[in-house]
Amino acid sequence: MTGQNLNTTSRDEHVPEIERCICTLKERARAIVNTLPFEILSHRLIIEIVYNVMFWLNCFPHKDGIHAMLNPCTIVTGSNINYDKHCKLQFGAYVQVHKQHNNSMATRTSGAIALCPTGNAQGSYYFLSLRSGNVL
């Protein structure tokens, strides 16, 4: 095995590189929380904020990453982010989502909160249903 060193750390030992990554994640999550109009955040919404931050961090190449031009998302999935498709909605935006219906006069949409893009070629998004609290 050449060129690879496994450096394990003891309990409560600090790893500066990892701590810097955690600080970056927390700073960006706090920035999103401060743009939201909600006073109380559900546990599910907090989890989705972290997912959103990680999604966007992985969409751009890191200066110390394994490739200078390719981002982690492209390396792993082979897909690229397209601004026109994947940047249509801001995290926390109120939207109406389509729900299954029949030919009755019942409502055909329900309220939801936009979370983050799925990353697929169509530009789909994840939503948090206001009725059930489930991710759609």
User: Which three-class secondary structure string do you get for the chain?
Assistant: CCCCCCCCCCCCCCCHHHHHHHHHHHHHHHHHHHHCCCCCCCHHHHHHHHHHHHHHHCCCCCCCCCCCCCCHHHHHHCCCCCHHHHCCCCCCCEEEEECCCCCCCCCCEEEEEEEEECCCCCCCEEEEECCCCCEC
The structural domains of the chain, with segments of one domain joined by +, span 16-129
In the prediction, which pLDDT does 25 show? 95
Q: What is the pTM of this model?
A: 0.81
In the prediction, which pLDDT does 65 show? 79
In the prediction, which pLDDT does 67 show? 84
In the prediction, which pLDDT does 63 show? 81
Successive 10-residue mean pLDDT values, the chain, 136 residues: 76 86 94 93 94 92 82 84 89 89 83 91 91 89
In the prediction, which pLDDT does 2 show? 63
In the prediction, which pLDDT does 95 show? 93
